Structure 1
Amino acid sequence: MLDIGYALSSRYPDPPQTDYRRADVKALRHDLFSGDVYLADTERDEELATARGWVPVLDFAWALCDIAERLDRDPMGSRAAKPQRAALDFPESADVWLFVRRFGHVEIAPEHPSADQPTLSVLHSELRREARDFLHDLLADLADMHEELADNPVVWDLRARFPRV
């Protein structure tokens, strides 16, 4: 079972003058909501995580949903024998997580593996479902903290583009 989570950073708070209702895509994806993220395989008790405190959390959720869709572009779907690849680059860092779909499974691994960063393997359908759930849960959490964020047109478009599965 895949678990996706986050923790917002207290060291890098959003600027107090932020107008969340009018924040543009760049601000939402790169300038706001810094923290750390993780992907965990709860059955194997393994996890890929960041530990910097300045990863743009909303950008991570958005990118994860994009990746799940990109990995599903082959018309053969889960029967495609050719691996489908995508990468998640973390801003202002050399860290990259690689996503490789073979048939119905997706392997997720850091570009430069180490002993403390395992390779996770999940079903593609599970990745898509959990990524979208994470995005919606994150947006709900952020809107609880900043009520005007729920009125942002970019957030409306994002919710419509990636509905819960």
Structure 2
Amino acid sequence: MLDIGYSLSRRFPDPPQTDYRLADVRTLRHDLFCGDVYLADTKADREVSTGWGWVPVLDFAWALCDIVEQLDRDPRGNRSANRQYAELDFTESTDRMLFERRFGWVDVAADWMPADEPPLTFGHRLLRRESRDFLHDLLADLGDMHEGLMDNPAIWDIQSRFPRV
């Protein structure tokens, strides 16, 4: 079972004068909603998580949905033995979260994990569903906290690009 979650940082609050209706994509993805994120395998009781407090949470959700689609470019889908790679780099550091798909399985690892620790493994279909659910749940939470956010055209665009599965 896959669980994707987040926590917002109190050390890096959003600027109080922000007009969320008019914020551009760069601001939404890189300058607001900082915190930490995790992907957890609840069955194995293991996770890949950040602990820095400054990860742009919306950018993580957005990028994760992009990566899941990128890993699905082989027309053979789950029948493909070819390895497909993607990485999510964190803007303010050299750390990366690494994704590798073969057949219908995706391995998730990170630069900061111990070298002898195996990656987390999830079904691609499950990762797609959960990443989109995470994005929509995050947007609902952020919309409740920040007036005008759900009226932003960039938010409409991301919701239409990655509908719930």
Does the alignment reach a TM-score above 0.5? yes
* 1:17-59 alpha-carbon deviations (Å, 9 max, x no partner): 0000000000000000000000000000000000000000000
| Matching residue of 1:50 | 50
Counterparts in 2 of 1:117 and 1:138: CA distance versus 1, 3 Å: farther
The answer (yes or no) to whether the contact 1:84–1:101 under 8 Å persists in 2 is yes
The answer (yes or no) to whether the contact 1:29–1:59 under 8 Å persists in 2 is yes
| Matching residue of 1:30 | 30
Taking structure 2 as the reference length, what is the TM-score of the superposition? 0.97
Q: Which runs of 5+ in 1 are unaligned?
A: none
Q: Are positions 1:72 and 2:72 aligned together?
A: yes
Give the distance between the partners of 2:5 and 2:28, measured in 1 at CA: 18
Q: Are positions 1:160 and 2:160 aligned together?
A: yes
Number of residue equivalences: 165
Identical residues among aligned pairs (%): 68
Runs of 4+ in structure 1 off by over 6 angstroms are: none
Give the distance between the partners of 2:62 and 2:32, measured in 1 at CA: 13
The answer (yes or no) to whether the contact 1:48–1:118 under 8 Å persists in 2 is no
* 1:72-117 alpha-carbon deviations (Å, 9 max, x no partner): 0000001111101100001111110110000000000013531796
Give the distance between the partners of 2:139 and 2:163, measured in 1 at CA: 12
- RMSD over aligned Cα atoms: 1.3
| Matching residue of 1:17 | 17
Q: Which runs of 5+ in 2 are unaligned?
A: none
Taking structure 1 as the reference length, what is the TM-score of the superposition? 0.97
The answer (yes or no) to whether the contact 1:65–1:132 under 8 Å persists in 2 is yes
